[in-house]
Chains A and B, each alone.
Chain A
Amino acid sequence: MSLGLPGHLVQLTLARALARAAHWFALTCLMAAAVAVSILSLDRSPELWVAVLVVMAMGALLVLFTRHRRIALAVAYLLVGTLGVYVFTKAVLGVPDVFPASNMYLVALPKMALVMVGGAGSTALAGVLWSTTAFVLAETAALLAILDTAVPYRADLFTLSTYVILVGVMVLAGIDRRSSNAAQPAIHRAVQDGANRQLRDALDTRAIALLNDTTVAQLVALSLAEPAALSPGLRASLKYTLTTLHNTNWLTNIDDRTAPALQPTALQPTAATQPAGPVQVTTPAGYDWQSSAVYTAIERCRDRGLHVDVTGDREALVRLDAENDRDVGLAVQQCLVNVILHAGIDSAEVAIESDPTAISLLITDAGRGFTESDSAADRLGLRQSVRRRIEQLGGSVLIWSRPGAGTRVRLIVPAATQSIALPPALASRRSGSNRANRSSSRKPQ
C-alpha cells in the first residue's frame, strides 16, 4: 500500500497512537505495582492494602481517561495520582527493614504511570506540558513521602528516564517533516491517475472489442462475400453496424439490457414482444431466454447461414446481469463468427450449463480446427472479443482445438444465484422447474 496519511491527519493519528502506547505502559506499571504490593502485603505487612487500593484507584481513573479523553479526567488522574504516589511511597518504604534506599523500581511504578498522562496530549507541546506537570507533582509527592520514612533519599532515575524518553518521542512525533509534504499528495494523485487509467483501459478494451465485432467483422464479411446484391442478412448487419457507430454513446448505451431486442437480427416476434430488459432479473418467472444477448448473437449468426443447435439450461442466463449478458452475448457471437469464417462448416452447437456459482457455455464445431502457431499475431477475435471480455467479467475461457478435429470453446462466467433477486414465493415456484436453480436457492451467496 502506498497511500500514506496526508499531512493534516499525521499529527492527530500519531498523537492518538502515542496516547494508546502511554496508557498501556501506565496500566502495566500500575498492575505490576498492585500485584507486587499485594504479595508484599501478604508476606510482610498487611497494612499495605492501602497502597494497593490507591494504585487500583489510579488504574480505574486511567481506564476512564482512556475511554473518554476529557481534560477533567486528566486533571482528576493527576490529582488522585499525586495523592496515590504519596500514599504508595510512604506505605511501601515504611515497611521496616526491607528497602535500603528510596530509589526502588517498585516505588517508581506509580510515578512512571503518572508521567504517562502526557502521552494523551493532542499536540507535542501539550503532551510535554502535561508530562512535566505530572513529573514535578509525582517527584514532589514522593519526596514528601520519603521524608516521612526512615529510608535515605536517592534520586529516582527510572522515573526521570521514562519522562525524558516520553518527551523525546513526543517531540520527535511532533516535528513537521516538510520534505514528505509534497510527496504524499503526489502519491495520492498517482493512485487517482492509475484508477482513471484503469477505467479508461477497461472502456478501451470494450471499445476495441466492439469495433472488432462490428467494423472489422463487417469488413471481413464484405470481403468474403460474392460481388452481387447484398443478402438480407448482410444488409441487416451492415445497418446495425452503422447505427451502432453513429450513436455517439455506443460504449455506454450498449449496457442497456434492452439493446439486443432492438437490434435488427433480433426482430423476431417473440423477442420484440418481450417486456423491457432489466425487469427480467427481478421477475424471472416471466423470463424468456430470447431476450438475452446470447440468443440475439445466435440469431444473428443464423441469419448469416450458420445452423446453430442450442441445448441445456437456457433459462440460467437470467442470472447474468445486463452488462454480463451483453458481454457473454458478444463473446458467443465472436465464437460463432469464427466458425463461419474459419471452420469451413455450416453448423455449430451451443450448450448452456449452470451451477450455483457460474454459467458455462460450450460452443462446439466439427470444422477444420486450428493450432495456435497458425493463428496470426494480428488476430483479435478470440484474444480480444472472447478471452478478454470474459476475463473482464471474472470468468475464464478454455479452448480445445486441433487441425481436422473441430474446435470447442468453453466460456465460464460467474453468475449470481437467483435467490438474491427473487421474492421467496417466486423463488420456491421457480425452484420446482429448474434443478440448477433449486440448488442455488438452497445455497444463497
Chain B
Amino acid sequence: MIRATPTPRRPRAPASASQQRLDPIGGLAAWPIAPVMALIMVTYAIIATVSRPHEIAIVELAAAAVTALTIAAAVLVWSARPDLAPFTRTRAVVIVGLGIAAHLLAAASTWQLNEMVQDDFAPIGLGLLLLALAPFRPWKEILLLGASAALVVGVTALAQSPFPGIQVPPVLFSIVSMTQVFAPTLAAAAYSRQVVNSIHRWQTDARRGIRARTEESRGVLAQSVVENRLTNLGADVLPFLADVLGRNTLTAADTKRARSLAFQVRRVLVAEVDHTWLDDLIDRERVALTERGLNPLCVIADPERRATGFDSDQRAAVGALIVALCTLKGFDPTSLVVQIDGSGAAPADTEHITQAFGHRGARPTPATDTTTVAIVTEAQAQAATKARAQARAQAQVNAATMPRARQQTTDHGSRATDTITIQAGISLPPFQRRRALRPYLSVLRAVFTQVRVTSRHPLLTLEFDAERGPMNTTKGIR
C-alpha cells in the first residue's frame, strides 16, 4: 500500500481535530454528504411510517417521531453548511439527541404492535446521522455519541422483544438494532481518524519543509536586512563617526550633530519597530498592483498593532485572502481597506517574533508607540497621513454601522478579541465571486470566529474575530 506521505513516523493529531478543522478546503468538498444522508433518512422514515399503518398504535407519536428525525436531518444540513462552519460539538450532540428522541417516539408509537424491529426507521436514521458526522467531528466524539445511541436503541429493542412476530432469543433484536447504529458509527469514526491522521502527517511534513526553506533563505534575508538598515541609517552617520575617530577630538559642533543624528536614527528605528506583517503584506500587494499598471490605494487601519497578535495560520489565511482579492478579476485597486480593532488589551508586540522561535511562554511587551507606517520620506509621510485619515473615516463608519461586534467582545472578560474588517470592491457577478472566494472563506472560518460576509455590489465586506487569551501585564518601561 502506498502511504499518503513518505515519512515513516506517525505524529499524533490533536484529539479535537476533524477533517473540516484541519483541512477546511477538503471539508468544503465533503459537505454534500449531509444533505444526501438527510434526504435518504427522511424519505425512508416517511415511507416506513406510511407503509405500515397497522403497526402504529398512536398516530400522533408516529408523526412526532418523523418530525423529530426531520428536524435532526435539517439541523444536520444546516450545521454542515460551509458558511456556518465550523461544525461544533453542540450541533453534533443536538443532532444525535434529536435522533434518539425520534427513536423513542417511534418505539412508543408502535408499542406492542411492532412486528419487526429490523425495519424500524429510527435506528437506520440514527446510523445515517452518525455517518454524516464523519468529515466534521473528531473520531472519539463520533464513537461516544454512536455508542450512546446504540445503547439506547439496544435497550429499546430488548424492551420490545416480547411483541414481534419472530420467535428468537430477545437479545437478537438488540444485536440487529444496535448493528444498524454501530456499524455506520464505526465507519464514520474510522474515516475521521484516518483522514485526520493523514492530514496531520502531511501538515507536519509541510511545516518542516517550510521551516527548511526558510532557513535556506536566512543568508539572503540577513543580507537584505543589513543593506536595508544601512541604507536607512543614511549616508551621514558612518562618515561622521569615521571623521570624529580620524580627528581624535570632539568639538561642540560634533556633539550637536551627534545629538541630531541620534534623534533622527532613533525616529526611523522606532517607526520600523512598529511595522507589522500586515503592513509588509499590503506593501507587497501594492507593488504587485503597480507592476500590473494599476494605481492602487490600499489602506490599513491597525492603530493598536493588533495584527501582531495573529498566529501563523491566521496570518496565512488573511494573507491568502488578500492576495486572492487583489488578483481577482474585477478587483478595484483603489478599494481595499483592512481595519483591525477590538476589545481587550492590544497584543504583545514581540509575540510574532517569539513564535518564529517557538517560545510561546515569552512575556509580552506593551507597545508604547502606535505609529503604523514607517515615516522615512516626506512622500511616504504624506501617503501615510492620507491613509490614516481614510482609515479613521472608515472606522467611524464601521463604528456607527456595526456596534454588534464590539458589544459581544466586551463580554469575554480578560480575553481580548480583535475584529478584522476587509473591504474591497469587486465587479464580478455574485455567483462567480462567491465561487472564487469560497475556499479562502472556509480557511478563514477554521482559524477565526464569527466570519461575516456582507455584500453591496460591488463592495464586499468581510468581518471576522480573532480571540486571544488573557494578557500578562508588565511593569514600567523606559
Contacts and interface: CB of A to CB of B under 8 A. Distances in A.
Contacts of B217: 196, 199
Contacts of B261: 219
A202 interface: yes
Interface in A303-357: 338, 342
A425 interface: no
Given A32-B175, A199-B218, A391-B354, A227 B258 contact: no
A200 interface: yes
A24 B193 CA distance: 12
Contacts of B5: 9
- Contact residues of B: prevailing secondary structure: helix
Interface stretch (A246-254, A275-283, A427-435, A437-445): A246-254
Interface of B: 1-2, 4-5, 21-26, 28-30, 32-33, 36, 40, 118-119, 134, 165-169, 171-172, 175-176, 178-180, 182-184, 186-191, 193-195, 198-199, 202-203, 206-207, 210-211, 213-215, 217-219, 221-226, 229-230, 233, 237-238, 241-242, 244-245, 248-252, 254-256, 258-259, 261-262, 265-267, 269-270, 272-273, 277, 280-281, 312-313, 315-317, 319-320, 323-324, 349-350, 352-357, 359, 361-365, 368-369, 435-436, 438-440, 443, 446-447, 474-478
A35 B25 contact: no
A98 interface: yes
A17 interface: yes
B179 A28 contact: yes
Say whether chain A's binding surface is mostly helix, strand, loop, or mixed.
helix
Interface residues of A, number: 132
A72 interface: no
A239 B246 CA distance: 10
Contacts of B312: 191, 194-195, 198
Given A204-B225, A242-B241, A377-B369, A391 B248 contact: no
A87 interface: no
Nearest to B237: A215
Contacts of B165: 100
A211 B269 contact: yes
B147 to A, nearest CB: 12
A32 B349 CA distance: 59
Contact of A109 (B179, B248, B355): B179
B327 to A, nearest CB: 9
A396 B244 contact: no
B171 A39 contact: yes
Contact of A227 (B25, B194, B254): B254
Q: Which among A28, A187, A205 has the highest number of chain B CB atoms within 10 Å?
A: A187
Nearest to B219: A252
A242 B26 contact: no
Nearest to B186: A24
A193 B315 CA distance: 10
B270 A16 contact: no
10 contacts: A2-B443, A5-B202, A184-B25, A194-B312, A195-B356, A205-B273, A219-B262, A383-B365, A396-B363, A399-B476
B213 A192 contact: yes
B250 A399 contact: no
Given A195-B210, A199-B218, A372 B478 contact: yes
A382 B478 contact: yes
Interface of A: 1-6, 9-10, 12-14, 16-18, 20-25, 27-29, 32, 35-36, 39-40, 43-44, 68-69, 97-100, 104-106, 109, 112, 161, 165, 168-169, 172-173, 175, 177, 179-180, 182-184, 186-205, 207-208, 211-212, 215-216, 218-220, 222-230, 235, 238-239, 241-242, 245-246, 248-252, 338, 342, 370-372, 374-375, 377-384, 387-388, 391-401
A256 to B, nearest CB: 14
Given A28-B182, A40-B168, A372 B477 contact: yes
Nearest to B188: A21
Contacts, number: 407
A213 B427 CA distance: 51
A223 B356 contact: no
Contact of B221 (A14, A199, A224, A228): A199
Nearest to A224: B255
A190 B166 contact: no
A183 B248 contact: no
Given A223-B262, A248-B223, A371-B476, A194 B316 contact: yes
Nearest to B5: A9
A5 B148 CA distance: 33
Nearest to B256: A223
Given A179-B436, A200-B224, A396-B363, 16 more contacts: A3-B313, A4-B22, A9-B4, A24-B187, A106-B176, A180-B28, A183-B25, A203-B218, A219-B258, A222-B258, A227-B254, A229-B249, A377-B369, A383-B477, A392-B354, A393-B357
Contacts of B168: 40, 43-44, 98
Given A2-B24, A179-B439, A190-B317, A238 B241 contact: yes
Contacts of B26: 4-5, 10, 180
B262 A227 contact: no
A151 B237 CA distance: 102
A250 B167 CA distance: 89
- Count chain A CB atoms within 10 A of each CB in B186, B251, B281 and give the residue with the most: B186
Given A1-B203, A242-B242, A401-B478, A183 B439 contact: yes
B134 A379 contact: no
A11 B85 CA distance: 23
B265 A186 contact: no
Nearest to B209: A192
Given A235-B245, A396-B363, A248 B172 contact: no
Given A2-B316, A245-B238, A399-B475, A21 B191 contact: yes
Contacts of B237: 215, 219
- Among B188, B219, B222, the most chain A Cβ lie within 10 Å of the Cβ of B222
Contacts of A99: 166
A2 to B, nearest CB: 5
Contacts of B206: 3, 188, 191
Contact of B199 (A5, A218, A397, A401): A5
A1 B446 contact: yes
Contacts of A27: 186
A187 B357 contact: no
A223 B363 contact: no
Contacts of B350: 205, 387-388, 391-392
Contact of A17 (B1, B195, B280): B195
A28 B222 contact: no
B6 to A, nearest CB: 11
A2 B365 contact: no
Residue from B21, B25, B33, B176 with most neighbouring chain A CB atoms (10 Å) = B25
Contacts of A382: 477-478
A183 B357 contact: no
Contacts of A5: 23, 26, 198-199, 202
